[in-house]
Amino acid sequence: MSTVVAIKGTNGSGKSTVVRALLDRLGKQSILRVNSKEAGYRCKYEDGSLFVLGKYKDAACGGLDSSFSYGGAADDLLLCIDKLAGQGHVVCEGVIAITSYGFGRVTRFADKLKRKGHHMIFAHIDTPAELCIERVRQRRMEAGNPKPFNPEKLLHKYESIQKSQEKLQEAGYDARILPHEEPLQTLLRWFEERQSPPKFRRTLNSKD
CB-based contact 22:190 (threshold 8 Å): no
> Percentage helix, strand, coil, to 5, in the chain?
45, 20, 35
Please report, for the domain that includes residue 123, its CATH number: 3.40.50.300
Domain presence at residue 61: yes
Give the phi and the psi of residue 36 in degrees, each rounded to 5. Answer: 70, 10
- Domain that residue 88 falls in: 3-201
Q: Are strands 37-45 and 3-8 parallel, antiparallel or unpaired?
A: unpaired
Full-model pTM: 0.86
Does a structural domain hold residue 19? Answer: yes
Residues 87-113 as b or e (16 or more Cβ within 10 Å = b): ebbbbbbbbebbbebeeeebbebbeeb
In a domain, residue 177? The reply is yes
For the chain, the domain total comes to 1
Question: Is-contact 181 128, C-beta < 8 A?
Answer: no
User: How far is the C-alpha of 183 from the C-alpha of 155, rounded, in Å?
Assistant: 22
Pairing of β 48-53 and β 37-45: antiparallel
d(CA 44, CA 114): 24
208 belongs to a structural domain: no
* Residue 184: predicted pLDDT: 96
Helix (H, G, I), strand (E, B) or coil at 7: strand
Torsion of CA 4, 160, 129, 12, to 10 degrees: 50
Domain assignment present for residue 105? The answer is yes
154 in any annotated domain: yes
Quote the DSSP letter at residue 119: E
pLDDT in 10s for each residue of the chain, 208 residues: 899 999 999 989 999 999 999 999 998 889 998 888 888 999 999 989 999 998 886 556 667 777 777 777 778 888 899 999 999 999 998 755 555 678 888 899 999 999 999 999 999 999 999 999 999 999 899 889 889 899 999 999 999 999 999 999 999 999 999 999 999 999 999 999 854 444 434 444 434 4
What's the angle, vertex CA 190, arms to CA 184 and CA 194, rounded to 5?
A: 150
Question: Residue 76: its pLDDT value, please?
Answer: 84
Residue 206 lies in a domain: no
CA angle (206 as vertex; 188, 176 as ends), nearest 5: 30
Instruction: Indicate whether 38 belongs to any domain.
Output: yes
